[in-house]
Chain A
């Protein structure tokens, strides 16, 4: 019954117009970035390399598809949570707002199964969105700009990664980015269990992300103890795969924090959903 319910959830997500807003937004934003870089990319490169030009000389195709993918990933990882929450925040509360939750929960399937099937479908949607972004960023980027070494600008310097050393970094980077986005999907689904309308969980998810990001970036000593445990601190952990040498301990810590958040929030969601009186 669980798989039948999951199949239903896939059908619903595929049929909802809002599911395509994320895909369309990514296509549009990535398209604009690639178009702009095609026109003015060299000026952007000059701006980045200017501080190093006296000590280093840059040769080869610097403005390449790998750099495009890296830039796009950095920009969109901030916006994708909104696009994910837009769909996953609606999974439970949307049924409540539409009234279909009454029919759904009078069927011979446990509430936990319904919730988990929705969660699985939400995670699959998140994967599709991320894969689409990856396809647009890497393949279309390489198609338009060719390949080459990747130049990664850090606050304390510049890292040049050889072309042959990049693919696996993108692969692992995407896996950790996916984990971060699944965390967002879990948060919005959990909030969705507490709400009777679609907008509430989406706005709340973004509110929490913004609040935690502010706490994480404020240089206030009292937040020092909290910062390592905020999920927002670890959402950009995918970037660690573009460092040399790899900060394995830091990456592991980020993965553990994200997993603990996911499991805890999912537990809360299951508890709340099972206890919920359906009054809508």
Chain B
């Protein structure tokens, strides 16, 4: 469960590289206990925002507060309470998994004894691979080691930048389960960036969508995705008869709603069986019914552009 304590406060964040505006106006809040989805198409400014939050990039303007403190003045205090993977999980390839974890633990101000390292490697599913050099690890194994690295100093907040990119389907499921374990078993607050809405929907409780460096919408995932009108596509055998039956029941159809033998209707979920029954009563055969949520449709349009 998320609390009312704000862990991350991003206000009007702007980052310009000369004439290029990577982030134009991003604002969002993350609360303790959230699995927070940070969603946007490629190039939306997600990574730049995350890098700014981790002091890898200095912002052009805007306010960044983590754990109630300003990042510019309390950098080390803030970073000591964060574990992160930024884009790819890269490690020292010539060192073993254990040595890599020891190196990053030392820099995080903790001593990683062998027992602790083995326990964390076990948690991420890399038991028995502690002595292996990272050069021999697959991308999925590096992701797991990346998550192990984020946990080595037991941080309160974990930031994962596109953690499932480049993974096979099983790898994606494994990482997703690991993230849920972080929240459920270790009570971590997780910020997770992705360009895949379904991924965020499956694990996040709150989310923000950004595009072209600007915040589009933020809020609870269930409210944003489920508490809204749907776009329902009815595939029928007789489109004219279907339109006529809708018109007779005071349902107006515009030109954009007709796509071949498909009718796209903006209706609430409870009205789907009503419309279906209406078609059946008027001898219109329905071959299929597909639903899309407005936000999903909007997001897909963003990605496809």
Show the binding face of A for B, using Cβ within 8 Å: 1, 4-5, 7-8, 11-12, 15-17, 98-100, 102-110, 275, 277-279
Contacts and interface: CB of A to CB of B under 8 A. Distances in A.
A102 B92 CA distance: 12
Interface of B: 51, 54-58, 75-80, 82, 84, 86-88, 90-95, 99, 103-104, 106-109, 149
Contacts of A5: 106-107
Counting chain A CB atoms within 10 Å of each CB, the highest count among B82, B88, B99, B107 belongs to B107
Contact of A102 (B77, B90, B99, B108): B90
Nearest to B88: A99
Contacts of A100: 90-92
A4 B90 contact: no
Given A7-B106, A8-B103, A11-B99, A107 B79 contact: yes
B106 A8 contact: yes
A278 B78 CA distance: 18
A92 to B, nearest CB: 14
Contacts of A275: 58
Contacts of B90: 98-100, 102-103
B93 A102 contact: no
A58 B57 CA distance: 68
Given A4-B107, A15-B92, A17-B94, A108 B80 contact: yes
Nearest to B47: A279
Contacts of A8: 103, 106-107
Instruction: Point out which of B57, B86, B93 has the most chain A C-beta atoms below 10 A from its C-beta.
Output: B86
Contact of A278 (B56, B79, B91, B108): B56
Nearest to A100: B90
A103 B100 CA distance: 11
A253 to B, nearest CB: 41
A107 B107 contact: yes
A17 B93 CA distance: 11
B57 A104 contact: no
